[in-house]
């Protein structure tokens, strides 16, 4: 029997970023799921705050080299990888000089939301999916963590739905308390248009706010997980009203088994 495959798309992972509930999940959950007998792949952005030398990142030449088109401009996609030795786990990093070399994540040194966070999120989502295609690795589950991964459910269910790599994948979205108050630039969704993705597909995504992005992602996901004890009330209410299978918040200790069982349920195992 072939091992089931879980693709983790993470906004944060320790030790590459400071410790937080989300970065802890990004680090420990893939290891535990791998130890349970499933295959895993893990991705995150290569923010400028990630210390390449200390964490021994290196470029994967065979995966790098393609360009992603955003707003009619070609942006080189660079793929780097690092190993967490004690976990026997690799982490793939989505990199681009224009989007990810600044020494910050979503806000600048003055606390201002990066104007190009819309394009950065688009680039990250497309970069993950194009790299997984290049790997030829078809996941059973795509687990999205953090608002920065919220465009993946849309892409998987539209532009990439006919790809044999993603045709059978189930998308699980974890909801966290990672709200932002700003709004993505007006008309940002037009930058995402590509084959099999049309204006009518955007739905809630067109709003460009944290709540609208998460509502759009909920609409396009197959199942949901409460990743934080406190979640934006409007998002949580919408999630519950969606009728999608949902795993309640499990706490910060020993949640791995519940997540693994939830994966099996969504995949369709007994």
Over the stretch 164-186, which tens digit does the pLDDT of each residue have?
999 999 999 999 999 999 999 99
Model confidence at 269, pLDDT cuts 50, 70, 90, reads: low
The C-alpha atoms of residue 189 and residue 98 are separated, in whole angstroms, by 20
Domains within the chain, CATH numbers bracketed: 5-267 (3.40.50.2000)
pLDDT at position 270: 41
Which residues, 6 or more positions from 95, have their beta carbon under 8 angstroms from its beta carbon?
A: 45, 46, 77, 78, 79, 80
**Matching residue, tokens 């459910």:** 153
The C-alpha atoms of residue 210 and residue 70 are separated, in whole angstroms, by 21
Q: Residues 190-207: what's their mean pLDDT?
A: 92
pLDDT at residue 98 tops 50 = yes
Rounded to the nearest angstrom, the gap between the alpha carbon of residue 269 and the centroid of all alpha carbons in its chain is 24
| Partners of 159 in the β-ladder | none
Q: Is the pTM of this model over 0.95?
A: yes
Specify the range with the lowest mean pLDDT, choosing from 7-16, 27-36, 108-117, 194-203: 194-203
């Amino acid at each position: 029997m072939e091992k089931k495959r879980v693709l983790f798309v993470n906004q944060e992972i320790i030790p590459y970023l400071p410790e937080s509930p989300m970065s802890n999940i990004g680090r420990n959950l893939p290891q535990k799921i791998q130890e349970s007998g499933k295959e895993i792949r893990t991705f995150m952005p290569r923010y400028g705050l990630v210390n390449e030398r200390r964490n021994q990142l290196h470029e994967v030449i065979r995966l790098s080299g393609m360009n992603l088109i955003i707003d009619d401009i070609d942006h080189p996609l660079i793929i780097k990888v690092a190993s967490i030795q004690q976990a026997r786990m690799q982490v793939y990093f989505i990199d681009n000089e224009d989007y990810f070399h600044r020494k910050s994540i979503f806000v600048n040194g003055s606390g201002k939301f990066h104007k190009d966070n819309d394009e950065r999120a688009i680039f990250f989502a497309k970069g993950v999916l194009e790299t997984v295609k290049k790997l030829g690795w078809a996941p059973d589950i795509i687990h999205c963590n953090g608002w920065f991964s919220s465009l993946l459910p849309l892409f998987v269910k539209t532009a990439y739905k006919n790809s044999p790599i993603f045709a059978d994948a189930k998308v699980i979205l974890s909801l966290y308390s990672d709200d932002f108050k700003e709004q993505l630039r007006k008309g940002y969704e037009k930058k995402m248009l590509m084959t099999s993705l049309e204006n009518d597909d955007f739905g809630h995504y067109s709003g460009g706010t944290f709540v609208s992005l998460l509502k759009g992602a909920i609409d396009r996901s197959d199942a949901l997980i409460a990743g934080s004890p406190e979640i934006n009330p409007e998002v949580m209410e919408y999630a519950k009203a969606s009728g999608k299978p949902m795993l309640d918040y499990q706490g910060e200790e020993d949640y791995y088994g519940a997540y693994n069982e939830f994966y099996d349920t969504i995949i369709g195992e007994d």
